[in-house]
A and B are shown apart, each in its own frame.
Chain A
Amino acid sequence: MKKGLLVFILFVCVLAVAPLFLRDPFLCHILIMIMMYATMSIGWNVIGGYAGQVSFGNAAFFGVGAYTTAILLVNFNVNPWLGMLAGCVLSVCLAVVVGYPCFRLRGHYFAIATIAVGEIMGVIFTNWDYGGAAVGIYIPILEESFTNFEFHSSKIPYYYIILCMLLVAIAVSYVIEESRLGYYLRAVKDDPDGARSLGIDIQKYKMIAFSISAVLTSICGTFYGQYVLYIDPSSTMDLMMSIHLCIIALIGGIGKLFGPVVGAFVFIPLMELTRVYLGSEGQGIDMIIYSLLVIMIAIWRPQGLWALFSRGGK
């Protein structure tokens, strides 16, 4: 474990100084996307990995975070940081409302129910005129500052903000793993009936895990809105995005602390680089490559790539 800690500190240091050497905005953008998806995938891992409840609707929380912040900012001039907080609160509300009935379902029923919820959210936001409907919302340009959560001359401030979010997510995930909650969640995953017979309130712990998952995804929604300065339903509530979050965790290692981080470092560059270097001619090539990767991992290495580093897994 000591060695692991050392590697982790080294990894954080490299990420922290990387912008000083990277002058290329595109590379900076890729790193930002990697860290954003890693954060969200850690969020997915809390409910999908630790608790074993496969959610295909997590993009809804991303959308709620992005939309809450944007609507509050555009219509009520509320500071984005406060908007982020409001987004988190609403995401948790959504998690509770959705989770309460859905967590009684098992296996495929649950997975498909989360798809349904995610898609319903997408339809609602596409038709909701106040929320910009299908056109989306342009986030107003404000003066560049940390308080305003907007920077126009450089991407580097965004880089450090998302790095902090990622570190928070890793810390949260670590605390869950080491705490009682983590043991309860693993019990819920491996043997729900056994856990119940020991007096563990399964519903409650699933709900807590789902809420944490919602918050970690929601803050990324806010970040994305402030980073791109434009949101619409197809970029924030897409089923494909929810699927990507699971795939990232799968590639790295489901239920492993650093699984989603490893997954994001493999998946995002693959997506972005094929898009750039193959252009429109290579449309679909990225999907072919990563789908084969996903299938191979699911068949032969369900513990993910992280297991390669940690020699046999934890």
Chain B
Amino acid sequence: MEGVFTQTLVSGILIGFVYALIAVGLTMIFGMMDIVNFAHGEYLMVAMYFAYWFFVLFGMDPLYSLPWVTVLLFLLGVITYYIFIRPIINAPMLSQIFVTFGILILLRGVAQYLWNADYRMIPQTLTSGNVSIFGIYVGVSQLVAAAGAVICNGLIFWFLKSTRMGMAMEAVAEDKEAARLMGINSDRMFALAWGIGIATVGVAGGLLSSFYYVFPEVGSNFCLVAFVVVALGGFGSVPGAFIAGIIVGLVEVLSGYLVAPSLKFMFVLLLYLGVVFIRPQGFMGRK
């Protein structure tokens, strides 16, 4: 009994890392330009399909196709910015919401048209199977996904804090006008934020595809979970999202374990409501 409990905790933490990675892109884009990307989960879905087709068409394992998927998603993010987001940067919130919702429906529609509504899964990957660590059985895929998510989160944090470009992005997030006076091209920084934000969700999608079904609606739950993570960690905070991801992962598996698996999603959403009612700025968010 105790073994099952620890196992549950471990799986919660592992999936929490992936949630954090999905949320990082969302929180970065929000922090920089005050736009919530409601289509975030759909980019995850696209990344998972890319990984799937790399496997089916070229026999590439998701682990090997990961760099390609990431690059493709980076480009998709930049393209999205220039076509859809740039025209509405200064538009009212309502227009921004509807544009990202429009992208959500567009990507879902394209996925449904091209690949129909079937559930697909990569049958056998390099990371199939389980390992036992101190008596706890963990799926190798989950372990690799969690490790990949931690590495990617770390890279993003390092990029923002230690590189000139990352600092320039932070500066734009802090004060667009002042950054412009310092000679930072905010337009290019926004494009970069979309590129990186979508690329990170691409990494998450590539990693998830080795143990998760792919279908056109797969993004919707992940997207809602990402909102919860972002709110909990504080809109715009990358380290906050990391901690919040783990908490959300734990809440999900624990409520599934202690109450009922079919209700676990409800507890995650209740967590969101609890956070925004009590501490709207999250753990580490800017007010």
Interface residues of A (CB under 8 A from B): 52, 54, 101, 104-105, 107-109, 111-113, 115-117, 119-120, 123-124, 126-127, 239, 243, 246-247, 250, 254, 282-288, 290-292, 294-295, 297-299, 302
The 7 closest A-B CB pairs, nearest first, are A287-B109, A284-B112, A284-B113, A295-B102, A291-B105, A291-B106, A298-B98
Kindly supply a per-residue 1/0 record for chain B positions 139-154, scoring 1 wherever the CB is within 8 Å of any chain A CB and 0 otherwise.
Answer: 0000000000000000
Please give me the residue from chain B that is nearest to A293 by CB atom: B102
Q: Is the CB of A105 within 8 A of B276?
A: yes
CB within 8 Å of A: which of B203-233?
A: 216, 220, 224, 227-228, 231
* CB of B131 closer than 8 Å to a CB of A: no
A298-B88, A299-B87 given; A113·B95 CB < 8 A: no
> Can you list 26 A-B pairs, Cβ within 8 angstroms, ordered by A?
A108-B30, A108-B93, A108-B97, A115-B224, A115-B227, A116-B224, A116-B227, A116-B269, A116-B272, A116-B273, A120-B270, A123-B263, A123-B265, A246-B98, A250-B98, A282-B113, A284-B113, A287-B106, A288-B106, A291-B106, A295-B103, A298-B98, A299-B84, A299-B87, A302-B94, A302-B95
| Cβ–Cβ < 8 Å partners of B273 in chain A | 101, 113, 116-117
Q: Which residues of A contact B102 (CB under 8 A)?
A: 291-292, 294-295, 298
In whole Å, how far is B104's beta carbon from the nearest beta carbon of chain A? 8
CA distance A126 to B264 in the complex (A): 13
Quick check: A299 and B99 within 8 Å, CB to CB? yes
Choice from A105, A111, A282, A287 contacting B105 with Cβ under 8 Å: A287
Interface size counted on chain B using CB atoms at 8 A: 48
Name B residues whose Cβ lies closer than 8 Å to a Cβ of A.
30, 36, 84, 87-88, 91-99, 101-106, 108-114, 116-117, 216, 220, 224, 227-228, 231, 235, 260, 262-263, 265-266, 269-270, 272-273, 276-277, 280
> Could you tell me if B103 and A287 are in contact, using CB atoms closer than 8 angstroms?
no
Given contacts A283-B116, A291-B105, 19 further A-B contacts (CB under 8 A): A54-B94, A105-B276, A108-B36, A112-B272, A116-B269, A116-B273, A120-B269, A124-B266, A246-B101, A254-B94, A284-B112, A285-B113, A286-B109, A290-B105, A291-B104, A291-B106, A292-B106, A298-B99, A299-B91
A302 contacts across to B, CB distance below 8 A: 91-92, 94-95
- Roughly how many angstroms separate A294 CA and B102 CA in the complex, as a whole number? 6
A112-B36, A299-B87, A302-B92 as given contacts; A294 in contact with B112, CB under 8 Å: no
The answer to whether A299 and B113 have CB atoms under 8 Å apart is no
Residues of chain B contacted by A246 (CB below 8 angstroms): 98, 101
